[in-house]
Amino acid sequence: MTVHDVTHLDALWETASSVAEGAVNVNPAEAFVLGASILLHDAAMSIAAFPGGLAQIKATVAWKDAVARLALVDEDRNVQIGSQAPSPEEIESRILPEVLRRLHAERAEELAEQSWVGPGGSRVYLIEDSELRRFYGPTIGQIAHSHWWPVQKIDQEFSEDLGALPSRTVNRVDRVKLACLLRVADALHLDSRRAPRFLREITNPTGVSALHWAFQERLARPHIELDAVVFTTGQPFGKEDAEAWWLANDTLNAVDRELRDVDLLLQARGREVLKARRIKGAGSSEILARTVQTRGWRPVDARLQVSDVPRIVETLGGSKLYGNDPSVPLRELIQNAADAVQARRRFQSRASDWGLIKVSIAIRNENEHWLVVEDSGIGMSESVLTGPLLDFGTSFWRSPQAMEEFPGLMAAGMHAVGRFGIGFFSIFMLGPVVRVYSRRCDRGSDSGRLLEFRGGTSSRPILSPEAGEPVPIDGGTRVEVLLKRNPYEAGGLLSMGAYSKETIPLAALVAAVAPNLDVAIETTEAEEAVRVVHPGDWLQISDSELTSRLNPASKGGHSYSKSEGKLMRSVQEEDGQIFGRAFISPTRYSSSPSAGWVTISGLRAARLSNVEGIFVGEALTASRDAAQPLVTREALAFWASKQAELIAAEVEDEERQALSAEVVLECGGDIGALKFIRWGGSWLATDEFKARLIQVTEIAISFDGEFHFDEDKDDVHPREFRSDFEESEDVAIVLEHQGSILSFSNTTWPRSLLGQARSRESNLEALTRKIILEVWQEFEEAEEEQTVGKVGFSDISRDITVFRRPDVPK
């Protein structure tokens, strides 16, 4: 952020001396080790620290992870498809500082013993004395590395002193003391020596770096008052520098915590304690402003904050976001489990179909129903279980901590479904008592942990060690929730509706929620285990099995004829990439459910209209209740045209052919031989319609579909109209039907994919006009009231569209 050159290194010895102020002594051996550690602790924040240069850095796991994470960040920022990808130089400039910062502490551990090849092939070392290098080098490297460790790790790693080097000294090295001195001195060196004004003008730092320079260049050298370090300013912070002042406030608060943690560690180990143990003014912005001064404004900590976190979690992570569908929390649990399995596949180079998710309903204590979801995934460490898992709105898989916990995972292609860090909290929709058992797959059985919620999000969770069952024995996670409602009662998890007493099996619900997941799922209900989903099986099972899986409430689900078994086709690109498996099935009534879904990474998201089957898609909202298929316009149009051929050959219902034609056109396809207009009591395809047009000079068409009773115009009883209406053979009918497959916000799909604006004119209406123009070359059009049929001896008239050839008299 600011200066890391030799002036910073020189200043650390002085800073450590001022903090210790006679309370801590170092012997000659410790002075050598501490001095070398100070010199090396930040030296690796440079390409020169790597003998192989930039090529060596690019070969590291950290670099590959950073590249993968950069792609995810750009994706999350909704980078438009087709926009120019960043150049290799741009990627390098964005990633290199981050990677060096991540690697520098770890790399510092190697510098004391590392060699560079000098002129003539000779080896050059930073510590020329080989005896000192071999004996003290590892300790120097570890202490240099430790300035980025948590304080607890210092206690664990440096439990014993280093003995004296024979023939050179009788002094031992207190590694804990030296590590504490280094980290405290490094944290405290924040004054203007780190941010020379002239250098700032030359380098012109931007962003967060500019704020660090702005506050550090104002700070005087700190001094000690009693047990407190005091920071003061020469030039106060004006209003224009308020953001820099707040960064100084946050930084000094972090340094204060560092001082207190180190003090507790030294006291616990019976070591000499530092003279300075805190930062004066830390914890109170107004008190800090007395020494780190402002001008023209007063720092009042009135920043945006959430005072009732549990309430926010309940509101935004529960029914207000997801609705009252109890299957949504089940979907989120399965998604988390699938992400964990995918991560383990990549982390341990396992097969693409390896892994299992188990879902069960367990009855305990006679009337307690527990939903249990267990996976064989990567598992969670204690820090993840108590950190990112509970961090509402933050996805662990997209965080820097994921790269630290599992180096190389992102570079291996990890692409989690979870992106928003809110899915876990939906579980409290099912009940307030939740248990999360987890164990990392690469750690021993004693690393298993239980995180338990006994009163929902309003109670503090309890963490305890847990070895053996019910922690997955080979690693992974097991989540249990005590259902507040009996799953077999109305409104329960397995009920078919809020007021329905009918239920569906757990296996059917799980298969519907995750119809094409790439992880195998097994359910257990009433002690009966059933394998419900297997990776890729949605492309192999029969058409009826797939539609039943997607819509289990339909009780076998398919209401159309057996001929439709021949309609299901894969939606795919020429190169074989599959975007779905579906067939056109017009939704005749808005209340009729479709068995078609857009799925996101195998989990259902948005229900389709006019289509049965699956389209693979991507989420448009955090709740994943809106999604957009990933299919290309070319693949969609090809699939729709093929559907037209199949429907024309296999479906005898001509009205359904006409409804399907509207959907085919909406998808950019060719309707081919599909019937689409009724004229003279017969349904006509394109060629038949053209042949009839040649023979006439006028045609009246209802683009509003079939005629219905109109109390303002019809002098007959509605019942008579419904039973006795006879349509005139002189009038053509184009059915009114919405051919869109998805609606979200103010757009419909696939019109949005095809770049077409929403229009009141249906696709079939546009096609009809096009055909009339093609046959007649030109026409006149008018809206006229005409007789469209009879009910008994009563004429029925309507306003309809009349087309005439202009060269023929009326």
Which residue reads 């990567």 in tokens?
A: 378
- Give SS3 for 569: strand
Mean pLDDT per block of 10 residues along the chain (810 residues) reads 79 88 88 94 91 91 85 57 64 86 91 89 91 95 93 90 93 94 92 83 83 91 92 93 92 94 89 88 92 91 54 54 75 93 94 96 91 96 85 72 83 73 79 94 91 85 88 94 92 82 92 96 92 95 92 59 75 94 83 77 91 90 72 96 96 95 96 96 95 95 93 92 93 93 83 74 94 95 94 93 81
pLDDT number for residue 592: 56
Contact (Cβ atoms closer than 8 angstroms) between residue 172 and residue 164: yes
Find how far residue 714's CA is from the centre of its chain: 57
pLDDT number for residue 748: 87
pLDDT number for residue 785: 93
Q: Cβ atoms within 10 A of the Cβ of 432, count?
A: 16
Structure token digits, residue 89: 């130089």
335 closest CA partner among 153, 141, 603: 603
Contact (Cβ atoms closer than 8 angstroms) between residue 252 and residue 240: no
Residues 6+ apart with CB under 8 A from 797: 713, 785, 786, 787, 788
**Residues forming beta bridges with residue 629, ordered by sequence position:** 617
- Give SS3 for 154: helix
Contact (Cβ atoms closer than 8 angstroms) between residue 581 and residue 613: yes
**Residues forming beta bridges with residue 679, ordered by sequence position:** 682, 732
- Give SS3 for 392: coil
CA distance 530 to 528: 7
Domains and CATH numbers, the chain: 190-305 (no CATH), 310-503 (3.30.565.10), 647-810 (no CATH)
| Helix %, strand %, coil % of the chain (to 5) | 40, 20, 40
Q: What is the pTM of this model?
A: 0.76
pLDDT number for residue 82: 43
**Residues forming beta bridges with residue 802, ordered by sequence position:** 700, 782
CA distance 489 to 697: 65
Sheet with 731-733, side-by-side order of all strands: 682-684, 677-679, 731-733, 698-702, 794-804, 780-791, 725-727
pLDDT number for residue 350: 94
What is the sign of the dihedral through the CA atoms of 200, 205, 206 and 209? negative
Geometric angle at alpha carbon 206, from 200 and 212, rounded to 5°? 65
Strands 228-230, 434-439: parallel, antiparallel or unpaired by DSSP? unpaired
Residues 6+ apart with CB under 8 A from 224: 18, 19, 21, 230, 275, 276
CA distance 47 to 44: 7
Which residue reads 């750690």 in tokens?
A: 443
pLDDT number for residue 761: 83
Task: Read off φ and ψ for residue 614, nearest 5 degrees.
Answer: -130, 135
Locate the DSSP E strands across 317-364. 356-364
Strands 747-749, 780-791: parallel, antiparallel or unpaired by DSSP? unpaired
Assign residue 408 a region (left: φ > 0; alpha: ψ between -120 and 50; beta: otherwise): left
CA distance 733 to 295: 79
327 closest CA partner among 502, 497, 554, 516: 497
